[in-house]
Structure 1
C-alpha cells in the first residue's frame, strides 16, 4: 500500500487511533499489544524500503501519532506487568504517574524535534483537511485541483446510491453490540465520512466501509429479522418434554389465568398480517439491492470507464456525438511541430501533451514546483507584451489552451482562470492582483461589463480570438459564449507576438505559435557578438563539409 498510494498515511493514523481508543475504553489485552507492536515495527521497516518514502516515517509529523501510540502502549503494558506485584493503591498512583509521564515525554520530544528541524512540520495538504479554507488562502495550487473540492450531496448519492441511507443503520448495529473489532469499524466510518466531506478524492476511503461493511450489516440484520422466524420454523428446536407430558394435558390455563389457545389457532393468527409484511419488506429490500446493482453498472460504464481525452455528447434523438478534439490537437502537435518544441499550457494537460504529442511542457501534473506554475499563471494573466517577455525567457514555442464556449464545455481554461490568477498572485503580488479581474461589484464577467484587465489578458484573447465573428445560433448574437451564457465584451482581438496555428473541429483545443523576435528587437535583446564568421567563408565551409 505504501508503494502504491500516498494515502497510506490515513491507515497509518487510523490503526493507532483504534489502539488508543481501546486503551481509553479499558479494552487492553495481550492480543492488542502483540498485534500493534508487530504491525508498527514490521510496517515501519518495510515502508522505509520504498525509495520515495525513505525516512519519512520517522521524520514527518504525519507519522508521529503512530510512534506516540507505540510508546504509550509499551508504558501501558509495563504498568500492567507491575499490577500483580503492587497493592491496588500503589498501582493506581503508579499508573496515573506513569501514563502522564509517558504522554508528556512523548509530546515534549515531538515538539523539540519539530522545533530543531529533525521532524518536518505538517504539510499543507493535511492542514487543508482540518481547515477547509486554509488551502484557498495559503496554497491555492492545492485548492485549484477539482479532486480537492468539498464533496456535494449529489456526489454522495451518485457514488453510494441507497447506501447513503443504510450506512447509518449499519453503524448503529455495530455500536449496539460493541467489541474490539467493531470499535475499529466505527472509528473508520466516522473519520472517513469527515474526510470524504472535505475532499472529493477521499470518497475512496469511505466506500469500503460503507459498501462492504456497514450497509451489508444493515441489510443482513433486516433479512435476519424478517426471515429468521421462517428459518426457525423450518428447523424447530428439539425440546425435552418427557417431564411435561403428564402436566401438559391438564394445564389448560396460562400464567395470567386465561384459557390457552390450541397450537393450530396460534398458527392461524400469525398467518394473518405477519407473513404479508415480511414478504413486502423482503421484496422491497431485494428491489433496492437490484436498483443499486443497476446503478453501479451504469455509473461504472458511463462515468468511470470513459477516457477523459475522448468526450461524448448526446442529441435530442439519443444519438451520440464523439468529440475527439484532444487527440486531434495532440496528433497535430506531434506531426507539425519540431521535436524539440516547447509547449506552454496549464498544468492539467502536461502529462497528456508529453505522452500523446511527445513534446516538452513547462508544467505538468506533478504540481510540486509552485513557483514555476505561478510563472505560467502570470503569463496567462498578463497582457500580451508582458506575457511575451515571460514566454521568451522560458523559450516557449507554442501555447495550448482549452476553450469550451462553442460546445458548452465547462471545464475550459476560462473557468479555471481565477486559479491561475490566485497562484500567480501568491508568487508575484506586485504584478498580479485578483481584484483587478473583477468588476467593481465583485463579479467575474466576460461581457462588456467585465474588467478591462480581464478583457485584455493573454488567456482571454487566446480563448476568444475570431470568436466574435462566429454566430452559433440564430437566437444568439455573434460571439455568444455558451458556457458562460454571455456575449463576449472584446470582439476586436488582434495579436502582435502570437499567431493562430491550430484550432480543433469544435474549437475545444486552440494552439498558438509564439513569433520570433524581429531583427531590431533581437539586437536589443541579445548581446552583440564580435567574432562573427564571414558569411562567404561560413558557406564555403558548409558546402565543403557536405
Structure 2
C-alpha cells in the first residue's frame, strides 16, 4: 500500500495489539469474529494483489477466502459491497483495465458459487437487495469491456453517439428490471438491519430486537480512543497521504476508510471493521514520519536557476536579522537535535500506545463474561462467581430434559455450561419466539403461566443485580422485553403502562400496577425484603427504596438463588389433580370457604371438562 516497507511492519504490529481488533480474539470472549476479521483483511489483500497482477489465480484465491468468510460471519456482506464499490469508482475515474476485468469477474463468479454452498446463504446472492450491487457492477464491467472493444472498431464521433445511447438504454432497463423484481417479490427488499445503519432510530421503532443489543447502539466518542488510542489521530493523516499517490490500492483504502468510519459510528460492533484500515492508514503516516526524520544526512542546497537568483537574494535581504535561520533556502527540520526530539517523541507515543493496549486487553477484554471481578476497599480483587454457581446447580439438580426459560442473552451459557435446553438463545431468528418470552416476563401470572405451560417450561431464570449493584440485570433490560413483545401483541403489552404519569421508570412505591404485577418484577424482588430490616429494602442499581410489602408468587416457587442474588431460578408449578394451576386452585378454595361460612349447602359435584 505504501512506498515504504516499514508501513507494512508497523501495520502488522498495530493489528497485533490494538484493542479494537483483539477484543474479539481473546480466550475470554472468543467468537466467530476472531476468525472473520482475519479473513476480511486477507480477502482484501488478495483482492489488491489480484488487481495489481491482473491474474485469474489471485482472483480465484480471493473468491476462495471470500467463501470461507461467508461461512464464518454474516458480516461478509461488507466485502460483497465494498469490492464492487471499489471497481465502480475505478471505472468512474477512467481507470478501467483488463486487470480489473479479470480480477472482478473471477472473484464474482467463483465467490458467488462458493457462498451459495453455505446453507445459511443459499440463493441470497441472486435474490436479495444486499447482493445486487455486486451483480450490477459485474454487468457493468461486461458493458464497459464491450464498449472498449467497439471503441477500437469505430471512429470517435460515431462511438460517442453509440455510447450515450447504450448507457441510457441499459440504465433504464436495469433499473426498471430491479424495481419490477423487487416489487414482485423475486428479489428480497433491504432488511431492517440495513436500514438501521442509515437511520439510527429505525431499529428502535420497527425492529426492537436489533436495537436491544448493546453492540448495535451508536458508538460513543470515548470508545474510539479506548479501542484505538493514538491511531485515531494518525488515521486521517494516513488517508490524506493516500491522496498524494493515488494508485488503485490507495483508492481502495480511501473508500474503505470512509465507509468503515461511518458504520463504526452508527454501530459499536462495527468498530471491528474499522480497526484494520485504521491500523494500515496510521502505519502509512507513522512510517513517513520515521523514514523522514531517521535520515541523518542534510539535503544539499539547490542553487537558483537563471533569473531566480535575484529574487532569492532580494528575499534574503528582506528577512530581519532576528530570523537569520530563514535566510537559508532549505525549508524543514534538519538539525540532529530537532530530528532526535521528533523521533524520541514518536517513540514515546509508541511506548505509551503499547502500555495502553496491554492495560485495556488485560482489564477489559481478557476476562470471561460469566466471571465478574470487583475491587475491595483494600485494593484486593474479589471474584463474583454467581453465574457458574447457578449453571452448576442447574446441571446437578434438574432433569436432563428440563427446559429453561430466560432472556435470550443467557441462552448459549445455559446450553453450554448447564447443558439444559432453553426456550430462546443467541441464535434465535424467530422474532415472535423471542417476543413470546418478552410477553411472559412482562405480563401478570395468570397470562404468563399458560404461556410457560404451552412451551413446556420447567424453570425460569432471571438475573437480578439489586443487592450487589450489578447494572446488567434483567430489570434494566426489561423495557426491551416489553418493546419486543409489544411489536407482536400491541393490544396486550403496552410500554406506556410501565411508566408513571410523569414518564418515569420506577420500581419503588410509585411503580405502576402493571410493573409491580409483571412476572419479571415479582421474580426479581421475591423474598428480597427479608434481607433488610422492615421497610428498608434498597435496590442499589436503581437507587430506590422498595415497597414494605414484597411481591407474592402463586404459579412459581423459588428453587435457587446464588450467593450474591445475581441469578435467581424458579420452578414452574405443576397443575393439580383437577388440571388447575396453583393460582386458580387457591382462588377456588377461597371461594369455597366463603360459601361454607354462609348457608349450609349439600354436596357439590365438580365437572372437569
Q: How does the TM-score come out when normalised to structure 2? A: 0.78
1:494 aligns with 2:562: no
Unpaired segments ≥5 residues, structure 1: 240-252, 260-264, 530-546
C-alpha displacement of 1:446: 1.2
Q: Check whether the contact 1:408–1:483 (CA below 8 A) recurs between aligned residues.
A: yes
User: Alignment partner for residue 406 of structure 1, among 445, 448, 467?
Assistant: 467
CA gap of 1:284–1:348, structure 2 versus 1, over 3 A, is same
Question: Matched residues in 1 for 2:151 and 2:264: separation?
Answer: 43
User: Alignment partner for residue 256 of structure 1, among 302, 313, 316?
Assistant: 313
1:514 aligns with 2:572: yes
User: Alignment partner for residue 89 of structure 2, among 4, 17, 21?
Assistant: 21
Question: Matched residues in 2 for 1:50 and 1:395: separation?
Answer: 33
CA gap of 1:194–1:225, structure 2 versus 1, over 3 A, is same
Q: Which residue of 2 aligns with 1:186?
A: 254
Q: Check whether the contact 1:382–1:457 (CA below 8 A) recurs between aligned residues.
A: yes
Computed over aligned residues only, the root mean square deviation of the Cα atoms, in angstroms, reads 2.8
Question: Matched residues in 2 for 1:11 and 1:383: separation?
Answer: 47
Question: Matched residues in 1 for 2:607 and 2:369: separation?
Answer: 46
C-alpha displacement of 1:181: 1.0
TM-superposition CA deviations, 1:148-201 (whole Å, max 9, x none): 111111211111111111111111111232221111100000000111111111
User: Alignment partner for residue 291 of structure 1, among 328, 342, 352?
Assistant: 352
Question: Matched residues in 2 for 1:164 and 1:477: separation?
Answer: 52
CA gap of 1:82–1:497, structure 2 versus 1, over 3 A, is same
Q: Which residue of 1 aligns with 2:292?
A: 225
TM-superposition CA deviations, 1:425-460 (whole Å, max 9, x none): 011111100000001111111122222211221101
C-alpha displacement of 1:254: 11
Q: Check whether the contact 1:75–1:98 (CA below 8 A) recurs between aligned residues.
A: no
TM-superposition CA deviations, 1:371-430 (whole Å, max 9, x none): 111111111001122211221222211110000111111111001000000011011111
C-alpha displacement of 1:59: 1.3
Q: Which residue of 2 aligns with 1:478?
A: 536
2:71 is paired with a residue of what secondary structure? Answer: coil
Q: Which residue of 1 aligns with 2:525?
A: 464
Q: Structure 1 residues 136-145 or 81-90, which shifts more?
A: 81-90
Q: Check whether the contact 2:129–2:190 (CA below 8 A) recurs between aligned residues.
A: yes
Q: Which residue of 2 aligns with 1:534?
A: none
Question: Matched residues in 1 for 2:272 and 2:519: separation?
Answer: 38
TM-superposition CA deviations, 1:488-535 (whole Å, max 9, x none): 246422111111110000101000111112334439999969xxxxxx
2:542 is paired with a residue of what secondary structure? Answer: coil
2:436 is paired with a residue of what secondary structure? Answer: helix
Alignment of 1:6-405 (within 5 A): 6-211=74-279, 213-228=280-295, 230=296, 232-233=297-298, 256=313, 274-405=335-466
CA gap of 1:81–1:489, structure 2 versus 1, over 3 A, is farther
C-alpha displacement of 1:255: 7.1
CA gap of 1:527–1:327, structure 2 versus 1, over 3 A, is farther
Higher relative contact order (CA 8 A, sep 6+): 2
C-alpha displacement of 1:207: 0.4
C-alpha displacement of 1:302: 2.2
Unpaired segments ≥5 residues, structure 2: 1-68, 303-309, 318-323, 586-605
C-alpha displacement of 1:477: 7.3
Structure label with greater radius of gyration: 1
CA gap of 1:448–1:522, structure 2 versus 1, over 3 A, is closer
Q: Check whether the contact 2:578–2:608 (CA below 8 A) recurs between aligned residues.
A: no
1:499 is paired with a residue of what secondary structure? Answer: strand
1:424 aligns with 2:492: no
